[in-house]
Chain A
Amino acid sequence: MSTFSYIGKRVPPVDGEERASGRAEYVTDVRLPGMLFGKILRSPLAHARIVRMDTSAAEALPGVKAVATFADTPGIPFGPMTAFEDWYIFAKDKVRFIGEEMAAVAAIDEETAARALDLIEVEFEELPAVFDPVQAMDPGSPLVNGRERNVVMPFSLERGDVDTAFANADLVLEEDYYTNQVYQAYLETMAAVVRPETGGGFTMWLPIQIPNKSRLTYGKALGIRPEDIRVIKPFLGGAFGAKMEANIHLAAAILARKTGRPVRIVNTREEDIVAGNPRVPMHIHLKMAFMRDGRFAGKQVRIVAANGARTVYAPPIMATACYRVDTLYTFENVRAEGYAVDTNTVPTGAFRGFGNSQMTFALESMIDEAALELGLDPVEIRRRNAVPSGFVSIHGWEVGSSAHEQTLDNAANMSGLLSRRRSASDKGTLRRGLGMASCNHVSGNKAFFPTFDGSSSMFRMAEDGKVTVFHGECDMGQGQTTIFAQIAAEALGARLSDVTIAIVDTQVAPFGLGSFATRGTTIGGMGIKKGADAGKELILQAGAEHFGVDILALDTLESEVYVKADPSRRVPFGDLARHFMFTHGGMPMVAQGQYVPDTVAPDPKTKYGNVSPAYVFGAHVAEVEVDTETGEVRVVGYWASHDVGRAINPMQLEGQVQGGVAQGIGWTLMEDMITRDGRIMNPTLLDYRIPGSKDLPRVQCDFVEPVDPNGPFGAKGIGEPALNPVPAAIANAIYDAIGIRFKELPITAERVFTALNDREATSKSSAKGD
């Protein structure tokens, strides 16, 4: 295919008008006849036995239709991952974190429901609690879920000859890093509207990234078949990894079952912060061996990660941190050891980067340190280890395309990194510096849901020739609908305006895995393309009948079938579709296609296996200005180069990168869930500040297009890699500006100020000593 109609074009969001006009319906906008309003009673204590719970006064309050507790649930332990089922819809006999669901009320309005919560009497017997994952592993620490040393999942892996690599190394570095707990802070809080259906099933309107997959978990929790649950995912107000399985959805279902009426529950912002799925905090001990020429001879890492009080996705996130970066560079000798550990804190889950971002902070900080020690520049040391196209990593990951090296060069060139670092202009108390970091990621991950991998779509062409595409993936605001429409229109040869991408309704949509692991564009996009290919086949067959020629003599463009040898002979899709329908008993043209990648679920023991059809790479450069008087760090310039396989929509790619960088800047400099004895001290957007319009620089974006052999039109993903390198790029820039290396996030003004003062005190006292 030489030229594209829609691929590579700056197509505005196809559903932008709905969103810009206020017409878009989000779950929080859904109103059903007879709908009740629910509220959840959450634990005020971090660890306590529930001695007694009295709901009678709440039930007696006029306007209250039901109060539900553990006794109203099937009482089946469940969880997002079948290996770690430690969830109950409402606390069984003890609470494990502040914010855990204990009961819920359904009432005629929210106010009445809130008043009823106050009337529920609970008697507790407090239990000793543990909050730090390292402490939680100590013998004698209180057990959160009864697991030995609170370890939910240990992880270990070794490949190559690590000991020899370290013995023969020219330079060995060893450091401790800490990445903190941060909140996804999407603008729409978690919510559910659930309607009970005759026969015991439910229709659930959910803002969820995994509308299909969640039904497997919810079926178990509710004691019904997944097929009895219909999930509708309308417009979704941001997720970033947090909106996977959530008890709020099930609490609404239990109340709906008990009252026989639809129930709506919407988290307050505070509830969303104390009981959401924040990022997994990690203690990372990293040791690396380097050769004089900059080659990475070996890597050894030990990670302790906080799981929180029940298991969301911390175990695979910890595992990801242990070894995903092994395919960022050409590592040969690696050893990793990791633990996901129960603590009496809010359960932790996926947040853009899925562990890879945590490890990238440590790795890319250490690489900069090594470059300095070895007298290499930050681009060169990375380039010497960069993964090329066709590379197969030590873990069996098959890198079909990589422009890692090109992204390093482009980021460096755009920013003037090499000429401007260490000499960036200083003014008064302000010091400027530049820093680089690179990143990799997957585009899909068979390890996440080993049952199956892939995606599919169904095309229905109505009598007017317009096409509706059904799929089971998930647009959570990242622009997937537009990308899918572009892919569908291009592959089918339809006008973009003739293509509608349906919202996900599991009653009609195929089973899609949803949005995670940066899989949407690559795997979801291939599912769309395969459906479109099948649709094209059908319309060409109809065209062949119409023209009385062979199907091979025809092609499609702009919603018409034409004869290749004589393009003036053409017929609109609508004419063919109408004829088809009226000659097939009213059946519209329906086509379906599926993509099944040859990915491999990693061997449980060795972790060997190609988990993704495509791998992405990128490099960022940050320029910071540090005020040495206040410790305040401002990011004043930012450059990002990404290997995207093929740019389906450069404008949306920029949006993803700018948003990812913004989130990374927030994490690095501003955001922290300050927790004392298991209580989050800043559960509002006033005290938990995310970047505003004045906190961010412009981000200069660059996209390299090596055209991947597996992605749709060669495209790979962008969501998570856009954030992964940000903390290290900023930390490296701060080092360039003031010569102090920060190994703990966030790098707040207070920490910078203290470090600057400590250094001054040290240099003064050593001067005195002399």
Chain B
Amino acid sequence: MSEAFTREDLLRRAVAGGALLSVPGLLAACGGSSKSAATTTTTVSTTLPQTIVWSNWPLYIDVKGKRHPSLDQFQAHYGVKVRYIEDINDNDSFFGKIEGPLSQGQSTGRDLIVLTDTSGLPGRMIELGWLEKLDKSAIPNIKNLQPIQQHPNWDPNREYSLPWQSGMTGIGYDPKLVGGDIDTLHQLLTDPKLKGKVTMLTEMADSMGVTMLANGDNPTKVTNATFDRAINTLQAAVNSGQIRQFTGNDYAPLLAKGDIYACLAWSGDMVQLQADHPGLKWVLPKDGGMLWTDNMLIPKGGHTYGASVLMNWYYSPTIAAEVADYVNYITPVVGADKVLLKSDPAIAKNPLIFPTEEMLANLHQFDISAVNNVKYKKQFQALIGG
């Protein structure tokens, strides 16, 4: 944890800067002019706002009773209030919600939001100029970022984003029902024993990514040829009745009840399922699995400095460990596992939460420009939409 700022320093600055409302608050008070682009000039502020508004997914931060200890600690340390709202429950829907104000040059009323890279939206927002650049001078802890996360194809220098949590996409299955182990997508898609008992994901990056890897293609650089090949592979499995459904995370109850035997599954879900069903297994396919990441972003009009300081807080290994201990997804912060080794070794040693070097080498990230390609989108929607 960086002690560069003492608490007194910050408090003094905050008071000196006056009770500076965050930019969104100001806009709301003025009833904002809808068409002017005036709101988007970032005042490079180095004082903390009174309140930081953070939208996140539900149950995605540490919880103790009704409170979030890591947030309470932040608020105590900096004297800044965080309004934490769990109103993101789907990338596209949330984007649909904020694109209205953003396209009109209005603020979204939020300083920090969390969106998934594989939805294509963080990349898209950068293209559209709807994100503020991080104030990296306020984020010295960025040095703790996992190497695999440092240069994503859609934000190569991490100027606009920092990972919040990650997950792996691999194969989840019930060995008893499958009658053995599975380690390739090919088996998932063609083994007659599994007919009608397999699901894939509606998330294009996951389903297409894993399929491309199985076809020997590179998902990080998608071409028309590789995309078509993957579509054809999946289409064949759909037509034969092998694939029962394309799901969001509602494959989980099906797997738990044995309605499906195997599926593309996310590591975080498996951790929860295995608590009640220790027999269930999860593996990265031999040809490789996918890594997806939920990223912290600052929407245009958000308080850049405040949001950056908040991001920095969560990049200290101690705080990251607090969050990882509860959320059980993959933290992007190096060193968190060492902290947990002392307090909660079971979590620290769980490869689904702290993947091994071998696993990390076999993980790939999907080409985000492909996700945002309308032609590809329609092809994929046609595949999963009948």
Q: Do A and B bind each other?
A: no
Interface residues of B (CB under 8 A from A): none
Interface residues of A (CB under 8 A from B): none
